[in-house]
Amino acid sequence: MVCGSTLVSVGRMTLLCAGDNGNSKAVLKCPLVTANDSECPPVKANSFTNDNSQDDGCQNSESSKDIRRLASRRANSELLVSPRMKELLEGLEVPGDSGNLPEEPQWLDRKLFNRGRQFYRRYLFCIFFSDLLALLMMFSMSRILKPLIYTERSDTILRALRRYVSTILHIITWYSGDVWDPNDRAHKDIMTVRSIHSNSARIFNSSTHYEKVTAIDVKNMGHHEPMCPLNPTIREDIEPQVGPALPLENPNNPIVYISQWDMLLTQYSFLGVMVAHPSKMGAWWASEEDLAGLIHFWRGIGFLLGIEDKYNFCRGTVKETQALCDEIEELIIKPRIAKADWNYEHMSSCLIEGINLMVPAVSYPAMFRFLADTLNIAVPAFVKRMSILHTCQYWLMRFVFHFLFLVPGIVMLFNGLLKLALIIAQGQYPARLSKTQNTVTSYTYT
């Protein structure tokens, strides 16, 4: 990278490098994105007005002061991108499977890797919860959400429950066995998942399916938006608080589904919230060495799933990984949650209401408020729309994760309850699950 004030091309973007040392930040000019880029459109003052009064009838209009302040800040803003993030962004155009051999790499530290496995055994419920929050974050990105909608395996309550239970069981298999032993069940399982990813990528990026995936919408699948959805309220609350999104694609450079970038984001979704906010996730007694073990565990898992080490999210130290998590939250997640639409809300609601069938006392409104709290986002209008039940659920979660898990042994109790719930859910679903409705329940919009 030539520093000073030099424009360099990185994948789909142009970065302005500022500074003259290895710790310099790359500055990304958001206006470089074309007008048709749905991920990060050019910023105009009137783009934040409520011009969809029919669709957003239940939304309170933003004050003109907030609009002017937001438009001014965004129009003149520059995105500071770290050198490590710039490197990861190159993976946007690289296929998700690097073709590396599934054998122990030279950098593998078995002792540290096993410490990560122990972290799962100690904080399984905390990681389970943090993964749910991470999924609510991932759903804000169309390149992640659209393939999920297209597969029709997550667009109803029961389907979402089955898919997430399956994912959790995969993770338990991986940390319980020896993923580096070709004869071990854990290794065979992770190779199966890798094969599924490769086949899915081939299908999504094929000429037969690519345009269908890109154009998919839950409304076209019969999941119609209710009269008073929550997503306009989310936009009302969050848009004034965030800057422009880091652009990930534009019409001149089509999306590569399940790219190296998407795979490293998958790594982030499984550990990022925990590493960035361990105490908020209830892991009060986790040391830096414990977090280092968790990070190294996922570096190994990512390698086995075909992630090239250059793009491995977990390649750095705890501090470096936490800084990268913060960068993803600020530049990628928050700005896109601020653009939440019905696709986001429907898929998120299906996920959380599905989990509620297995782990009672959770709801989409309560979980979203908890997510906003975790990301330090104020959502006053959203809170006003929450029912008494949703508010109680939110404060119950706050009590459990912020206070109850301070008591030694309580987390292990919740771990056992989660494993029991998984045993009940896997394979044979209770009769009441098979009869549950396939649409989001109306109470979500109370």
pLDDT digits (tens, 9 = 90+) for 310-365: 999 999 999 999 999 999 999 999 999 999 999 999 999 999 999 999 998 899 99
Judged against a pLDDT cut of 70, whether residue 195 lies above it is answered with yes
Q: Is the pTM of this model over 0.85?
A: no
Does residue 265 or residue 19 have the better pLDDT? 265
Rounded percentage of the chain residues whose pLDDT exceeds 70:
78
Query: How many Å apart are CA 11 and CA 94, to the nearest integer?
Result: 9
Rounded Cα distance, 354 and 338, in Å: 24
Total residues belonging to the chain: 446
How many other C-beta atoms lie within 10 A of the C-beta of residue 434?
Answer: 9
| H-only helix segments in 139-182 | 142-151, 157-176
6-10, 233-237, 370-374, 395-399: segment of lowest average pLDDT: 6-10
User: What is the Cα–Cα distance from 193 to 199, expressed in whole angstroms?
Assistant: 10
Q: What pLDDT, in 10s, does the model give residues 205-247?
A: 999 999 999 999 999 889 999 989 999 999 999 999 999 999 9
Give the strand order in the sheet containing 25-28. Answer: 4-10, 13-19, 25-28, 79-81
Q: Tell me the mean pLDDT in the region 55-76.
A: 42
| pLDDT score at 424 | 87
Q: pLDDT tens digits for 265-321?
A: 999 999 999 999 999 999 999 999 999 999 999 999 999 999 999 999 999 999 999
Q: To 5 degrees, how large is the angle CA 136–CA 141–CA 147?
A: 95
pLDDT at residue 155 tops 80: yes
At residue 250, the pLDDT reads 77
